[in-house]
Amino acid sequence: MPRPRRRWLRVTAAALTLAASAGALAACSGSQAETVRFYLSKPEAIAYFRDLVEQYNASQDDVHVVLDTSSNLQAGFLRGNPPDLGLLNYNMEMARFMERGALSDLSDMPEASRILPEVQGLVDQYATYPGRTSVLPYSVMAASVIYNKQIFEEQGLEVPQTWDELVTVCDALEGAGITPFYATFKDPWTIAQGWFDYTVGGDVDVASFFDGLAEEGTQVGPDSDVSFQKTLAEPIDQMQQLVDEYTNPDAASKGYGDGNLAFAQQKAAMYLQGPWAFGEIAKTDPDLDLGTFPLPVTDDPSDLKVRVNLDLAAWIPEASRHKEAARTFLSYLFQKNVMDDYNAAQLGYGTTTDAAPVTDPRIVGMKEYYDDAKFYQGASVAIPLTIPTQNYLQAIVYGADPDGILRTIDADWARLAMRQ
């Protein structure tokens, strides 16, 4: 047996030597591209960016981008292995990484100088890190009242610009046997995103409100200068008036999918949803003539504003071992034509000084407000997820006392401030 064993060892050693040599030759002759893991959070955009990544990888040999849509982001940061580049919705939860210095400084990149200051300011409303510009907005979604232009025209109705005009429009629609608003209260996020955010944002300076809450900290409550109970009582009452008087009677049992179908079937004249609903509505009736306008909550047209959110924003972690390669791909993503094509496809608004203006008739009604920075980030997304805001708001539209609910949110906020 010893002789065959020595022979096997010699054959194995030779094979390993050949394999190593072949690998070395392949390494010398093949691509030396640096791999960048690119994390994307928006499901609707996966196909778009998959094609974009393929085009980029085929265009050069220095950087190879791998699209990642399934990793656990928080776990990656905690383990020191986050993606090399992120492009995702920016909100309070993501801001935690910013304020802890986990995101690298991008202020020296040419792309940073192209961002509109008022849009970059949306990032700072959540969190900042001294001396850094760590997040670059890529796309903004503007949301407001979606309305059926044909119904408005047939009923001789103008787009309302004040609260009184809105009530008059709703009364006229009801008088004609038309449901003014289609509501989907079964899904609590639709209450928060639309009904709550639009009425609060149309009446209250949202950023200043949350700055005031932060200053009050653990003192938020019935005696504080700023509180949910005190500051938001009036817009919540207006929200409740619209809910009680001008929505479909079966709203409590209808969800987002039901709303898209019903609105496509012209079962109501207005719908409080974002532009993401247009694609779903079009599956039923692609020719429906739709538009958008800000929900008027005061009797001064100059108060009109639209709700926005940073639909996608880019960042590169400090822990990335491929920062320069990630920056190279970020520069590719931020090319004007690439950004313009994305926003046109997704009904988004551009974030740069050279962005193409929106032209889609479904969202062009919000253009003048966006261009004039008459916008706000939704109040619901500025509240930490540990406070069950959506469920509280659902309780209100189902009939709970608004004053009691707002008092409960105040208490939750104060307790959270104490823990922090």
Triad 307, 297, 204: Cα angle to 5°: 60
- Percent of the chain with pLDDT strictly greater than 70: 92
Residue 99, pLDDT score: 83
Residue 170 has pLDDT above 80, yes or no: yes
Strands (E), 44-103: 63-68, 85-90
The secondary structure element, H or E, covering residue 49 is helix 46-59
pLDDT, one tens digit per residue, over 345-355 is: 999 999 999 99
**Bigger pLDDT: 90 vs 52:** 52
Residue 9, pLDDT score: 38
Report strand pairing: 34-40 vs 270-273: unpaired
Query: In the chain, which residues fall in CATH 3.40.190.10?
Result: 34-141+309-372, 142-308+377-419
> Worst-scoring range by mean pLDDT, 65-69, 75-79, 173-177, 269-273?
75-79
In which band, very low, low, confident or very high, does the pLDDT at 209 lie, cut at 50, 70 and 90?
very high
* Residue-averaged pLDDT of the chain: 91
Residue 199, pLDDT score: 98
pLDDT, one tens digit per residue, over 276-314 is: 999 999 999 999 999 999 999 999 999 999 999 999 999
Residue 24 has pLDDT above 70, yes or no: no
In which band, very low, low, confident or very high, does the pLDDT at 31 lie, cut at 50, 70 and 90?
low
The torsion angle over the Cα atoms of residues 202, 203, 207 and 210, rounded to 10 degrees, is -130
pLDDT, one tens digit per residue, over 57-115 is: 999 999 999 999 998 888 888 898 999 999 998 876 677 888 888 999 999 999 999 99
Superfamily per CATH, domain 142-308+377-419: Periplasmic binding protein-like II (3.40.190.10)
CA 311 to chain centre: 4
pLDDT, one tens digit per residue, over 328-346 is: 999 999 999 999 999 999 9
Residue 7 has pLDDT above 50, yes or no: no
Residue 387, pLDDT score: 95
Residue 357 has pLDDT above 50, yes or no: yes
CB atoms within 10 A of CB 284: 13
> Worst-scoring range by mean pLDDT, 9-13, 161-165, 222-226?
9-13
Of residues 332, 27, 276, 305, the one with CA closest to residue 161: 305
pTM of the complete model: 0.88
Please give the average per-residue pLDDT across 242-267, as a whole number: 98
Please give the average per-residue pLDDT across 5-30, as a whole number: 37
Q: CATH: 3.20.20.70, 3.40.50.1970, 3.30.70.360, 3.40.190.10. Which one for 34-141+309-372?
A: 3.40.190.10
State whether the Cα torsion 334-337-340-344 is positive or negative: negative
Please give the average per-residue pLDDT across 375-400, as a whole number: 95
